[in-house]
Amino acid sequence: MRLSLVVLAACVAAVSAGTRGVPQSKQRHYDGETFTCLDGSATMPSSRVNDDFCDCEDGSDEPGTAACEGGSFFCPNVGFRGKTLPSMLVNDGVCDCCDGSDEWESGKCANTCVEEGREWREHMAERIKSVEQGASARLAYAEEGTKATAAAGEKVTEATSRIEALDRRLTDLRAERTAAEEKGKSDQLAAAAAANDAVATALGLDSLDAQALRRAFVQLARDANAKTQAEGVAKAVARAAASPQDAEAAADAIAWPGDDTTPPVAESATSTVDAEIARVQSDRDAAEADRKSAAADTVNDYGPDSAFYPLKGKCFEISITQYTYKICPFVDAKQDFTSLGKFSGWQEGSDHSVMLFTDGQSCWNGPARSMTVSFECGSEDKVLAVDEPSKCAYSSRMSTPAACDANAAKALRLELNEPPAAAEPAAEGAAKDEL
């Protein structure tokens, strides 16, 4: 600890020895007896640097004051990280630098860099740990997604083969049913013809001449007590050929087609085929449903390596004030029971980092509700925040291993280990007029 304080004191001394508002990487430009504007527009005595008067078009002669519009001021922030801010914020009464160097005129700002640096490093260490855990978990996510989408492709192929086979079976069964119907009709016609012949024989029509038939139909017209027209015909014909007693016996002995309660010949022949057609059609419907479900997994965009696939079929909630928000990736988003939209794809240009949910329940006198879900690397799937930046347009943040990148952890480590002196200002200000 003592050594750290010594090093810190040395750094402060080194920074203090330089020109105020200039990073160490550019101090060499201000070390001589004269100073040349960084844009080369003018050369002047070093005494005119930071004299609160703008001499250079680019404002580089006033890095430590607010004299030049568009200039920049560098806070060394020893113990934390260097920071560049617009020079217009110098001596404005607000502490923008943790070392207080931007308010050098009043000296009212305490140096909090050591404490802020410690807190920042602790936060960064936790962040790096989370990103590394997430990157490791992402490997498993990607493996699961890749296997699932590959299996879905195989299911589509298998279901398609089943459907084709069942279609062929249905074609055969329908042809079989048609043949059974035709045979049934043919058998019925043959049976009817045989029955007609039997009736004619039973009635003795073969032995009657025209005169006898005439008497039979006259008798039929007079017989008001005949149960049916057919029975009346039989009795009339029988009377014409024999005695009244024989007529009654002949009518009762005939096997009338209407008296037969046996089902039609075609009914029993087709009922079995119909049952088989229904069973095969049911199997085909199930195969089609399987194919449709599997096909969705082959065309849906689950991100690079299908790493977002494990989020499918899951929902994540967060309660904020009086509302509970529920996000179901690839399906929909809700605020309690109010629809905030259905999944409509990834935001263009987001590199699979922002999901879109659109066409939710309409607002009163407003647009249909919608939501964006921004994913960031994390060790677990979790909704972090929900906001409503504009009317009925919601935005949320979610952490998930699917959004992790192994290179991100390396970049964070480099940032954590970057020494404060390495911090550089943003671009130097463009040419501006004097204040």
Instruction: Check pLDDT > 70 for residue 381.
Output: yes
Instruction: Check pLDDT > 50 for residue 16.
Output: no
Distance of CA 132 to the CA centre of its chain: 26
Instruction: Check pLDDT > 90 for residue 407.
Output: no
Q: Is the dihedral of CA 282, 288, 291, 297 positive or negative?
A: negative
Q: Which phi and psi angles does 399 have, rounded to 5°?
A: -100, 145
15: nearest Cα among 75, 95, 71, 83: 75
Average pLDDT over residues 70-96: 92
Instruction: Check pLDDT > 60 for residue 85.
Output: yes
Residue with the bigger pLDDT between 176 and 393: it is 393
Q: For residues 21 and 386, give the distance between their C-alpha atoms in angstroms, rounded to a whole number.
A: 39
Residue with the bigger pLDDT between 191 and 104: it is 104
Architecture in CATH for domain 313-403: Distorted Sandwich (2.70)
pLDDT of residue 193: 78
pTM confidence score: 0.60
pLDDT of residue 5: 39
227 pLDDT tier (thresholds 50, 70, 90): very low
**Average pLDDT of the chain to the nearest whole number:** 83
Percentage of residues of the chain with pLDDT beyond 70? 78
Instruction: Check pLDDT > 90 for residue 259.
Output: no
Instruction: Check pLDDT > 50 for residue 433.
Output: no
298 pLDDT tier (thresholds 50, 70, 90): confident
Q: Which phi and psi angles does 275 have, rounded to 5°?
A: -65, -40
284 pLDDT tier (thresholds 50, 70, 90): very high
Residue with the bigger pLDDT between 236 and 295: it is 295
- Ranking 71-75, 127-131, 179-183, 241-245 by mean pLDDT, the lowest is 241-245
Instruction: Check pLDDT > 70 for residue 2.
Output: no
